[in-house]
Chains A and B, each alone.
Chain A
Amino acid sequence: DAKTTQPNSMESNEEEPVHLPCNHSTISGTDYIHWYRQLPSQGPEYVIHGLTSNVNNRMASLAIAEDRKSSTLILHRATLRDAAVYYCILSPGLLIQGAQKLVFGQGTRLTINP
């Protein structure tokens, strides 16, 4: 399975944009890039996913490098509620027998300062 590399921790200020990087130099051509986050004492929460093009949704934006060896999750205006561990995960495009096995690394712990 292709692996991802993320910084252990990052810090930002409330109401400022946050850019969370992820390196995935061994990504295959059909791997999707997923982001999940986990707030304290809660289960993970889906944030966004993409394949090649940049993606936007109500929570965040995902910027994918042209060579797909890295990506960046962008929170446009951080709030205190965005303090969480953010996981960057690769998942094969072809889901054998419909199974999607997510492999979670240690993620990036994001701290938001008031």
Chain B
Amino acid sequence: NAGVTQTPKFQVLKTGQSMTLQCAQDMNHNSMYWYRQDPGMGLRLIYYSASEGTTDKGEVPNGYNVSRLNKREFSLRLESAAPSQTSVYFCASRPTQGAREQYFGPGTRLTVT
């Protein structure tokens, strides 16, 4: 099992450009999550998908959209990148509705200039 994988690992964007961060898990997990982590801070939830076919906003959803493509994949899209979106983005998944633990990917480091 590769666990939770994220692509790309690093990305530099210019202000106004768009891009999609990809996340996939091979553990047959139901729920998936997108977080961002700014320097020296804890993680903040952007969007989540409790199960295939559903998505909901987290704490900081503005400027982002998500797609739960299928049970394995959950993508995060920045339509018009801003310097304030410079951050490290983590994807996570959780097994079943009763499970309490989340499994995190290695992160995507995004810089917007």
Contact = CB atoms under 8 A, between A and B. Distances in A.
- 7 residue pairs, one from A and one from B, having the closest CB atoms: A104-B42, A43-B104, A98-B97, A46-B101, A98-B50, A104-B43, A99-B50
Given A44-B104, A49-B100, A99-B48, 10 more contacts: A42-B107, A43-B4, A43-B104, A44-B102, A95-B97, A97-B54, A98-B51, A101-B48, A104-B44, A106-B40
Contacts of A101: 45, 48, 58-59
A26 to B, nearest CB: 18
A34 B45 CA distance: 16
Nearest to A107: B42
Contact of A100 (B43, B102, B106): B102
Contacts of B59: 101, 103
Interface residues of B, number: 29
B86 interface: no
Contact of A87 (B40, B42, B101, B107): B42
B10 to A, nearest CB: 12
Nearest to B4: A43
Interface of B: 4, 30-31, 35, 40-45, 48, 50-51, 54, 56, 58-59, 90, 92, 94, 97, 100-107
B41 A106 contact: yes
Given A99-B31, A99-B56, A101-B58, A43 B106 contact: yes
Contact of A98 (B30, B40, B90, B92): B30
A45 B42 contact: no
Nearest to B58: A101
Contacts of B31: 98-100
A111 to B, nearest CB: 16
A32 to B, nearest CB: 6
User: Chain B CB within 10 Å — which of A34, A87, A104 has the most?
Assistant: A104
A43 B107 contact: yes
Contacts of B54: 97
Interface string A76-106: 0000000000010001000101111111111
A95 B98 CA distance: 8
